[in-house]
Structure 1
């Protein structure tokens, strides 16, 4: 199902209660690389303060539905200005918006920002092998598998491999997202 156009904007302090609700839902975290842990709203606020102090090397964007409601996040993290690279991450957290091309739209917007506005040369990401929807999207826009970190993520009492992927500016296929 195709969704209406989504937008991205910088994450704001007012977004923290919703982000905190998502982070405290174990089902939400199942396909993400990080393990589940409970996060208080106070800890979330301190995390946001840390982001504000590190904005020069991190871009944290809210993914918004046409009505402006936040439905997920997309990040460019640990930007290295000499090597011109960053870590890419995306999370469409609102279940009603999954499978409607929102992740593809947000991915396109964030990658265009990375390459066209920030003049980055390379993006990297890590994804769990069972997250097939994410793997399909990443491959469609040009990410290539660069490696496999064996038993690198501990989730729900089990160790999981993590697929390492990378995308160079000249490999990006915007129309395929």
Structure 2
């Protein structure tokens, strides 16, 4: 289940985002400070083009889905990303089912709740497992581009999923 994030979720979101596994597959790999996170949260709350949702599994919050650059006029598009409480889910042996579920629910939310025509995103080239999962969900990869972020060179691959191409349950 996805629900809107609240101020009560801020510390959980920061702790999950700072898990090593999440930092290594993110454009910004440094450990985010509480002050940085507070500025981000303040900006998100004031920005109509952004949505932050918490993924709840078996009554327990364990992930975050963000939608940003939301355009609801003309072609309805947005970009998205997500991360999980990787450590907690691994301890419970729930990583793969949670991963499938959060992606399914995020795609459903994008097209059924937000009414998007296209959902965009990015994946780092070295994140081959996520790239495979994206293909499973019918995302199409665009042209890779090299960037520098947090003192490291990364290859960023844009992804997109059109409404007509989404996998239906």
TM-score (norm 2): 0.86
2:43 aligns with one of 40, 50, 61: 50
Give structure 2 stretches of 5+ with no counterpart.
Answer: none
**Cα shift at 1:26:** 4.1
- Structure 1, unmatched stretches of 5+, are 1-6
Matched length: 164
In the other structure, the counterpart of 1:76 is 67
Tell me the secondary structure at the aligned position of residue 63 of structure 1: strand
Name the residue aligned to 1:169: 163
2:22–2:83 contact (8 Å) kept in structure 1:
no
3-state DSSP class of the match of 1:160? Answer: strand
Say whether the 8 Å CA contact 2:23–2:31 is kept in structure 1: no
Partner of 2:110: 114
Contact 2:77/2:117 (CA < 8 Å) preserved in 1? yes
Look up the match of 1:104. Answer: 100
Deviating more after overlay: 110-119 vs 89-98: 89-98
Asked if 1 retains the 8 angstrom alpha-carbon contact of 2:16 and 2:83, the reply is no
Question: In 2, distance between residues paired with 1:161 and 1:19?
Answer: 25
Which of residues 16, 20, 28 is equivalent to 2:14?
Answer: 20
Q: State the Cα distance separating 1:143 from its structure 2 match.
A: 0.3
Q: Which runs of 4+ in 1 moved over 6 A?
A: none
Q: 1:117 to 1:25 in 2, by over 3 A?
A: closer
State the shift of 1:153 in Å. 4.3
What is the CA distance between 1:9 and its match in structure 2? 0.8
Q: Deviations over 1:101-149 (max 9, x none)?
A: 2122111112111111221100111101121221111111110012111
Measure how far apart 1:79 and its partner are: 0.5
TM-score (norm 1): 0.83
Per the alignment, residue 149 of structure 2 pairs with: 154
Compute the displacement of 1:93 (Å). Answer: 2.6
Counterpart of 2:4? Answer: 10
Change (3 A) 1:13 1:128: same
- Paired residue secondary structure (2:33): coil
Distance 1:27 1:119 in 2: 32
